[in-house]
Copies of this chain bind each other. A is one copy, B any other.
Amino acid sequence: MHKKLFIPGPIETRKEVLEKMATPMIGHRTKEASALQRGISDKLRKLFYTKNEILLSTSSGSGLMEGAIRCATKKRAAVFSVGSFGKRWYEMAVANNVPADIFAEEDGFHTDPKKVDEVLSTGKYDCVTVTHNETSSGLTNRCDEIGEVIKKYPDVVWCVDAVSSAGGMKIEVDKWGIDVCVTSTQKCLGLPPGLAVCTFSDKALQRAKQIENRGFYLDLLKLYNVIQKKDYQYPSTPSLPHMFALDYQLDCILEEGLENRFARHKEMADYVRAWAKEYFALFPEEDYASDTLTCVKNTRDIDVAALRKALNERGLEISNGYGDLKGKTFRIAHMADLNMSDIKDLLEQINDILKF
């Protein structure tokens, strides 16, 4: 039995999108392949509110995050973490000998722009990484406010993990001054996993040019250079199925309208948050709770595994807490193409199982 996915990726994928994954193959060095990648890039520029170049990577979002921190750090990276995926930036730096320090908040608490200012004012850092939407705790940082601070430091290249928010929340890349904004297909974009994308500013480009040992497969400069040299092609063989599906889905997203899409995500989030507060509590600071997934604090100490199993039997799937938060929280994603009716049905089923 198929289980409808309310987990923060892979997300429930529409039949029409899945069918595009089955498009017959084309050569990746053809004009058709160039047109495909160019079309995707043009549409993603709208989604990210940017004029910057768009890079595609056949990898998960982690792949591009790793490429980004390697390509953006010449001196030292300041990693601002609000959870497991924030820490991942730091692990990536360490695993590649990239000098970095981590400034971590307790799970559920946001990155304070003042703290970013304080850290950057030391002059030690030329790269900053921030998690826009932390998938482990359901928290959204205010990247507009953080961006205002970072603008004071013209040598700093700013990388943002928007893996679980891009396409579900408004991210104004150019206005906020983000240099590299990373996302992947299996979250708010509503595709299967297997492809990651990022924006790439001129500042990020100039920085990458100054860095040796950027790696090969995940090297953002190489991705950029091949786009220029081969008219929107990819250094190796990209996942064409994901590109066909993404191209189609971006048309659907733009047809829905970005503002409408963001409003739909917020409406679902408001509904799930109200439910969470009625029966449990929100895990993250309420003012920073995410519009794409809700992390519920397990204040009743319910057996999360048992709840998930009971939901599975009804054809529904939610997530346990991530890492150390397993059992202490559970997570409900309300992203991509899910709608209010899906969410209402899910919560009714949970209420029924928990006898609320």
Interface residues, chain A, with chain B CB atoms under 8 Å away = 2-3, 5, 7, 9-13, 18-19, 21-28, 30, 58-63, 66, 88, 91-92, 95-97, 184, 186, 192-195, 212-219, 235-242, 317, 319
Contacts and interface: CB of A to CB of B under 8 A. Distances in A.
Contacts of A319: 27
Contact of A193 (B2, B59, B66, B237): B237
A75 to B, nearest CB: 18
For this chain, the copies found in one complex come to: 2
Which 4 residue pairs of A and B lie closest in terms of their CB atoms, listed nearest first?
A: A194-B239, A60-B236, A193-B237, A18-B22
A307 to B, nearest CB: 15
Nearest to A7: B27
B236 A61 contact: yes
Given A59-B59, A217-B218, A10 B194 contact: no
Chain A's interface: helix, strand, loop or mixed, by majority?
loop
Contact of A10 (B10, B91, B193, B240): B240
A9 B62 CA distance: 26
Nearest to A318: B27
Contact of A25 (B12, B61, B219): B12
Q: Interface centre among A23, A26, A95, by most B CB within 10 Å? A: A95
A18 B23 contact: yes
Contacts of A21: 18, 21-22, 241
A214 B184 CA distance: 23
B62 A236 contact: yes
Contact of A241 (B2, B7, B60, B192): B192
A222 to B, nearest CB: 9
A237 B59 CA distance: 9
A3 B26 contact: yes
A217 to B, nearest CB: 4
Contacts of A18: 21-24
23 contacts: A3-B26, A3-B27, A5-B25, A10-B27, A18-B22, A21-B22, A21-B241, A22-B22, A25-B186, A27-B317, A27-B319, A58-B63, A59-B63, A60-B238, A62-B217, A62-B235, A92-B216, A95-B216, A96-B213, A97-B97, A184-B237, A193-B239, A194-B238
A11 B27 CA distance: 8
Q: Interface centre among A12, A218, A317, by most B CB within 10 Å? A: A218
Given A5-B27, A194-B242, 7 more contacts: A18-B21, A28-B193, A60-B238, A63-B218, A193-B239, A239-B239, A241-B241
A12 to B, nearest CB: 7
B96 A237 contact: no
